[in-house]
Amino acid sequence: RNQKRRLECRPDIDSLTPSFLSIYNSLIPSEEEKAKQKRLILSLEKLVVKEWPDAKLYLYGSCANSFGVSNCDIDVCLAIECDGTSKPEILTKLADILQSENLQNVQALTHARVPIVKLMDPVTGISCDICMNNLLAVVNTKLLKDYAQIDGRLRQLAFIVKHWAKSRGVNETYRGTLSSYAYVLMCIHFLQQRRPAILPCLQEMEATYEVTVDEVECLYFDQVEKLKNFGARNNESIGRLLWEFFDYWAYRHDYANAVISIRTGGFISKREKDWTRRIGNDRHLICIEDPFEVSHDLGRVVDKYSIKVLREEFERAADIMQYDPNPSVTLFEPY
């Protein structure tokens, strides 16, 4: 594989940028859609506090981390003290309440790995998944959003990478490929590695934000408005960054030994994490450390079949970026 590694990028690489940026622009959700989402969450919160006065609803995931494309479902977290009541009981109760308020397709999936209530709001047409007390997801949502504010190229790159992954069928965790969250972490890590760096490592800087959730200490520098010029010394275009991103995952990543870690801003060895062998269902064939739950490998869903699919897709994308006359079309062709 390493022999295929290319030393020189096509000479017209920067001229590909406008076509990718127009795809990015077409994916951005409108202000109107954002406002609708906010209204929906406020009206849901009103219903919830009638039953549980101290409960709170948080938006998380792509509708809140700034990596959401238009018309996506929204992810909501219900934060609530359980005192004795089980999760399934609370979720079943929640589903009853929502059902009686004319929300549609209300379903309590209490046996799922992450139990949720699903619903569709007939007024806005927005679908929504409500989980319970998953506050680490709320905190990692803020971390991603803060990173996105430092350099606009992160959001552009991640939108395009997510769009590619969805078009090519490699954004399906139930089939052994990676979550959107994992792809965004890969983009952040990649921009931390550019020289000069395009993103800093917020968790290595002096902490200005500090919370402890489920016994995990989450600390990082969150005054990102002070970092607006951080990436300015690097003027790589989106065309070039995409080329480099796919080239990296196709031909240069050390799958056998390396773990990518945005927490440290670099790489950790699999040996150091004890991620060298299969334990239970965790195979660690591509290793992406969660920034807060450091024992979580976001690549743990990948198995010996899907790793092949994934790597072939990275190679296809890298080759298109290098040789195709029209990468901004070919890259996203359905599989």
Interface residues with ligand CTP (CB under 6 A) are 60-62, 65, 67-68, 72, 75, 137, 140-141, 179-181, 298
Establish how many alpha carbons lie within 13 A of residue 11's alpha carbon, considering only the half-sphere containing its beta carbon. Answer: 0
Q: Give least dist CB 273 to ligand CTP, A.
A: 16
Closer to ligand CTP at the Cβ: 13 or 331?
Answer: 331
Tokens of 61: 């995931």
Closer to ligand CTP at the Cβ: 16 or 132?
Answer: 132
CA 102, 105, 109, 114 torsion: positive or negative?
negative
Q: Give least dist CB 68 to ligand CTP, A.
A: 5
- Cα Rg of the chain (Å, integer): 21
Measured from the Cβ of residue 248, the count of other Cβ atoms closer than 10 Å reads: 16
List all residues 6 or more positions away from 153 whose beta carbon is below 8 Å from its beta carbon: 191, 198, 231, 236, 238, 241
Find the Cα–Cα–Cα–Cα dihedral 75, 79, 80, 84, rounded to 10°.
70
Q: Give least dist CB 179 to ligand CTP, A.
A: 3
What residue number has its CB nearest to Mg ion? 61
User: For residues 21 and 156, is the Cβ–Cβ distance under 8 A?
Assistant: yes
Closer to ligand CTP at the Cβ: 127 or 322?
Answer: 127
CA angle 73, 149, 194 (to 5 degrees): 110
CA 6, 10, 15, 19 torsion: positive or negative?
negative
First to last CA, the chain: 23
Q: Give least dist CB 155 to ligand CTP, A.
A: 12
Q: Give least dist CB 136 to ligand CTP, A.
A: 6
Closer to ligand CTP at the Cβ: 65 or 192?
Answer: 65
- Binder of residue 37, out of Mg ion, ligand CTP, none (CB less than 5 to 8 A by kind): none
From the number of C-beta atoms within 10 Å of its C-beta (0-12, 13-18, 19+), residue 262 rates as buried
Tokens 């209300």 found at:
106
From the number of C-beta atoms within 10 Å of its C-beta (0-12, 13-18, 19+), residue 73 rates as middle
Closer to Mg ion at the Cβ: 61 or 231?
Answer: 61
Closer to ligand CTP at the Cβ: 66 or 328?
Answer: 66
- Binder of residue 159, out of Mg ion, ligand CTP, none (CB less than 5 to 8 A by kind): none
Rounded Cα gap, residues 245 and 186, in angstroms: 9
- Binder of residue 327, out of Mg ion, ligand CTP, none (CB less than 5 to 8 A by kind): none
Nearest to 211 by CA among 147, 142, 145: 142
- Binder of residue 68, out of Mg ion, ligand CTP, none (CB less than 5 to 8 A by kind): ligand CTP
The site for Mg ion (CB under 5 A) is made up of: 61-62, 75
Q: Give least dist CB 75 to Mg ion, A.
A: 5
CA 251 to chain CA mean position, Å: 23
Closer to ligand CTP at the Cβ: 37 or 65?
Answer: 65
